[in-house]
Amino acid sequence: MIKEIIKQSAVMQRQISKFELDYFSNLGDIADKLAGYPYTIWLDSCHPYSQQGRYELLVTDPAQLVIGENDQIKTQSHDGKTQIFSGNPFDSLEKILMQYPKFNHTDVFFCGGFVGYFAYDLGRLNEVIPNLLPQIPHFNNCLGGIYLWGIVSDHFKKTTEIIGILPSSQLQELWQKITALPASDLPGFKLASELIPMTDKASYQKSFKQAKQHIAQGDCYQINLSQAFLAQHKGHAWHAYLALRKNNPTPFAAYINAGDYQILSCSPERFIKIENNDVITNPIKGTARRHENSKIDKIYANKLKASIKNQAENIMIVDLMRNDLSRNCVPGSVKVPKLCNLESFNQVHHLVSTVTGQLDALSSPLKCLRDSFPGGSITGAPKIRAMQIIETLETCRRGIYCGSIGYYGFNNNLDTSIAIRTMISQNHTLKLYAGGAIVADSECHSEYQECYTKIKAISQTLNQL
């Protein structure tokens, strides 16, 4: 039904059109109509349950589907035309976007462009990482699409609009078609088993010990060690996502229907944002659980903020991100305006820093993303050596976990998350990951428990469905 309208437009505009809608403080009702369509993506700030994010973007039915496998990207258009690009997928995506118009309207949040994800394992194409862990079957290292329009809510200005490079009349017709769609009839979600760790405690302890040995030997000074959890479920993951965005709201949440699988992300962490050539990253390192008693909760928060260990972990990653951004920023422009700032979310407190820079005229947003990928907060430092060690310690590939989800618009704006608190539903199996930073004075028991602290809100929500 939606695809029929897209096909009516043989020529895309070289200008941006908008169709103003009534303001939606919660895009969930509209997203529900589209959630069952393959390649529907919702970049979600979880409004009204969270007030921390400003924008939400909902897209479906890409003009060009973009699928990455290893070092190849395949595109497929509505007319069935396919293209295959070899080489680094970030560079290939740059070539694909050259086929579309560019705009200087950097004040516009989104006017069309690429929306999708980049899996952690794309980092193997940037650096020399051993291939010791088996590939994840039927999973794409990069997936998304080139979308000519999107539904955008601005929760600061309290506006909602359809915006893109199609004529305004067609955007209006699209909206009429969308509103006429029924609510989804996707079957309700329910766990059929408990979340079970794929790594038993003894194996985790062994990996932890090996990580500490690498640190003692000077190979690294921080290694992010993660583990995966599995559960069987009935019904569709869409309903799990709706519950998660309500009970565990985060400013960089996302729902992706990839056709054969769905990705549900409750990420609190921005990776890289580039707007008007201003670059910003917000690495998170340092976590403490919240408490329902406000006095105890404040004690937990103050203890985290005063923790020398957690501050050290954060500063290590800030230094790493300063170096990564410097590869593509104007010399001398990289700054740290906020260091180890306490931010509180629904279920946890975090230490969050801010690193900024000015994109060099000889670079591009995608090149900056490529050269910083994956984010240092989920690898360790030095990054390359940490990733090499991680490959020997973990039991399975990370997939979407610790990758990035976001958009790169026709107006050169880019924003991406770090895909933590992120899970994949495939063949009625839910896979969820959690991890933490290992440093010289880390204790195995507390690091092991931190994994459970990070997934507690998710597991509680899913168990209640």
Tell me the CA distances in angstroms from 228 to 83, 135, 456, one per residue in order.
Answer: 35, 15, 14
Asked if 443 is an active-site residue, the reply is: no
**Catalytic site residue from 33, 212, 285, 431:** 285
Residue 147: CB atoms within 10 Å? 28
Where is 85: in which H helix or E strand? Answer: strand 82-86
* Angstrom distance (rounded) from CA 122 to CA 143: 12
As given in the structure block, the two tokens for residue 301 are 């928060």
Sign of CA dihedral 294, 297, 303, 306: negative
**Catalytic site residue from 56, 269, 275, 313:** 269
Residue 204: phi, psi to the nearest 5? -60, -45
* Angstrom distance (rounded) from CA 110 to CA 56: 10
* Angstrom distance (rounded) from CA 239 to CA 185: 11
Helices and strands (DSSP H and E) totals, the chain:
12, 25
Tell me the CA distances in angstroms from 366 to 14, 123, 412, 437, one per residue in order.
Answer: 22, 14, 9, 27
* Angstrom distance (rounded) from CA 211 to CA 125: 24
- DSSP bridge partners of 275: 278
Q: Which of 252-284 are b and which e, b meaning 16 or more Cβ less than 10 Å from the residue's Cβ?
A: bbbbbbbeebbbbbbbbbbbbbbbebebbbbbb
Task: Spell out the SS3 assignment of 185-228.
Answer: CCCCCEECCCCEECCCHHHHHHHHHHHHHHHHCCCCCEEEEEEE
320: left (phi over 0), alpha (psi -120 to 50) or beta: alpha
> In this structure, which amino acid lies at residue 209?
K
Report whether 184 contacts 33 (CB < 8 A).
Answer: yes
16: left (phi over 0), alpha (psi -120 to 50) or beta: beta
- Residue 49's contacts (CB-CB under 8 Å, 6 or more residues apart) are 245, 246, 249
> In this structure, which amino acid lies at residue 162?
I
Tell me the CA distances in angstroms from 124 to 16, 47, 130, 211, 395, one per residue in order.
Answer: 37, 35, 8, 20, 17
Residue positions annotated with a catalytic role: 269, 285
